[in-house]
Chain A
Amino acid sequence: MTRTPPLAGRLLLRLVLPPREVEHVAGDLQEEWITVRIPRLGEVGARYWYLREVVRSAGPVLLYRLGRGEFLPELLLAFTLTLGSYLAVEFFWGLVLSLVPLRAAAPAPGFVMGSIVVAGVVAASSGFFRTRAVLEDGVLAPLLLVAGVPPAAFLSAWIADGSTFVPSAAFGAALSVGTLTGVLVAVYPPRPFTWRARP
């Protein structure tokens, strides 16, 4: 009989909670899981209970942390990243089209491509940092080793100081906003800003 709570639940817990609380809350859940839920519900039922408990805890915890402004720097960063990339691409195309006679070429695909590249970079970064943040469980370490990332022991020590949550949340937020922007831009390509020099 396995005595480890479901991996998905543990990972979600780690992503939702602030690092300083993960140990206590995960310990509470594991203790209840072993001492109360497995005897009452059986192994399968207890695993379902654990997952349900983590999922329904995620909402209150995230709302509470948002309300306390814990994600404010990350949200500002995400906003700046996405707005910055939007303005940069917009300005770039406006400048190009005002200087070079490319009006026959539709500017929208380039704009969309630029936005998608930005979203892709943000997504990759987010994936990396989030993976790194859950490495303490040791389960995903082989994947990173295959990808040529430094040994898990080194990364785990790096994580241990609890400082990874901020970048992971930042990139997570940026991923969300970036992806949304990419999709919106793909569906509704905006007209580029056209700058005209005075004659």
Chain B
Amino acid sequence: MRPDYFFYKVDNMGRAAVLGELEHLVLLGVLRLDEDAYGMRIRLEIEERTGRDVSTGAIYTTLDRLERKGLVRSEVGDPTPERGGRARRTFRLTGEGARALTEARQTLARMWSGLSLEGEGA
């Protein structure tokens, strides 16, 4: 275990991790894609649903950070021809990741509660 990860764990013991915006989107992508969640699919999922063209590098660094935080775990699959014989690294949400997502959703709901924007729903 790396020292920075250890201190992160201690600092955040007992509470869900706070998610950045891209982390939030990537975690939702992982949740939505289930067993088929890997870099390319997550990137396309975000692009299709939000219109945001996130770079592969940004997705890779975010997934790496989430894995170090213990919010996702990865496993390496079998090589496929369309990938030039390279293996695929798929990601799954962990219990802690699910807790962080739930916490993020509840936080947003609490903040939105009782608010409305002008013109919304007209």
Which residues from chain A sit less than 8 Å from chain B, CB to CB? 4, 16-17, 21, 23-32, 34-36, 53-54, 56-61, 64, 68
Contact = CB atoms under 8 A, between A and B. Distances in A.
A23 B86 contact: yes
B83 A56 contact: no
B39 A25 contact: yes
Contact of A24 (B44, B57, B80, B87): B87
Interface in B63-109: 64-65, 76, 79-80, 82-84, 86-89
Contacts of A58: 57
Interface of B: 4, 38-40, 43-44, 55-58, 60-61, 64-65, 76, 79-80, 82-84, 86-89
Given A27-B84, A30-B82, A34-B82, A57 B89 contact: no
| B44, B56, B58, B82: residue with the most chain A Cβ atoms closer than 10 Å | B56
A21 B87 CA distance: 11
Contacts of B83: 27-28, 30-31
Given A27-B87, A32-B44, A61-B61, A53 B56 contact: yes
Given A21-B60, A24-B39, 5 more contacts: A24-B87, A30-B83, A57-B55, A57-B58, A61-B60
| B40, B65, B80: residue with the most chain A Cβ atoms closer than 10 Å | B40
Contacts of B82: 30-31, 34-35
Contacts of A68: 4
| A16, A23, A24: residue with the most chain B Cβ atoms closer than 10 Å | A24
Contact of B56 (A23, A25, A34, A35): A25
Contacts of B61: 60-61, 64
A27 B65 CA distance: 20
B47 to A, nearest CB: 10
A32 B87 CA distance: 14
Contacts of A57: 55-58, 60
